[in-house]
Amino acid sequence: MTPTIAAPPPAPGLSPARRYGLLIAVLALGASLLLVAPFALLSLRQEALSVQGGPALTVEIVADGMRYVPSEIRVPPGVNVRIDFVNRDPTSPHDLQTFGQRRDVRVIAWPGETRPTVFKSADRPGRYTFLCTVRGHAAAGHAGTIIVE
């Protein structure tokens, strides 16, 4: 009365040689996944570490014509700072490029858009520039200052 499990009948049309080829293909696929997966996980982990614990603070910076509001932000050294970059200028795209930070960023927003980004502030206290790289904008005053305290 013990139930018996019948072995599945051999698949018709697959010769032993073809089955062997299929087995090799499956093993190769498995091996390549094993090789690639750790690198994919590593990059995911680095991504997670870069924003570990979330940003220390969030600031909103608005592009209002050829100026940033506010044009100065104060941040602690060596922390992740989230910028919500808002473009309130209906006539032009603007961006915001940081300089001299531990991890610089450039974020672009089209008219009406809000774009978040996270930069890592400099380790050394000081005054650092951020500006708009759209041609002619920085010269027209589209720039600001990150004060690392």
The b-or-e profile of 68-94 (16+ CB within 10 A means b, else e) is beeeebebeeeebbbbebbbebeeeeb
Residue whose Cβ sits closest to Cu ion: 132
CB neighbours (10 Å) of residue 107?
20
Mask of contacts with Cu ion, 46-85, x by CB under 5 A? ----------------------------------------
Q: In the set 61, 132, 146, 148, which binds Cu ion (CB under 5 A)? A: 132
Return phi, psi of residue 95, to 5°: -135, 180
- Taking the least distance from each CB to Cu ion, the nearer of 88 and 102 is 88
Binding mask 79-98 for Cu ion (x = CB under 5 A): ---------------x----
Q: Which of 87, 98, 137, 144 binds Cu ion (CB under 5 A)?
A: 137
Q: Which tokens hold the place of 140? A: 């027209």
Half-sphere exposure of 57 (CA within 13 A, CB side): 12
User: Can you tell me which of 113, 134, 141, 145 binds Cu ion, judged by CB under 5 A?
Assistant: 134
Residues forming contacts to Cu ion in the complex (CB under 5 A) are 94, 132, 134, 137, 142
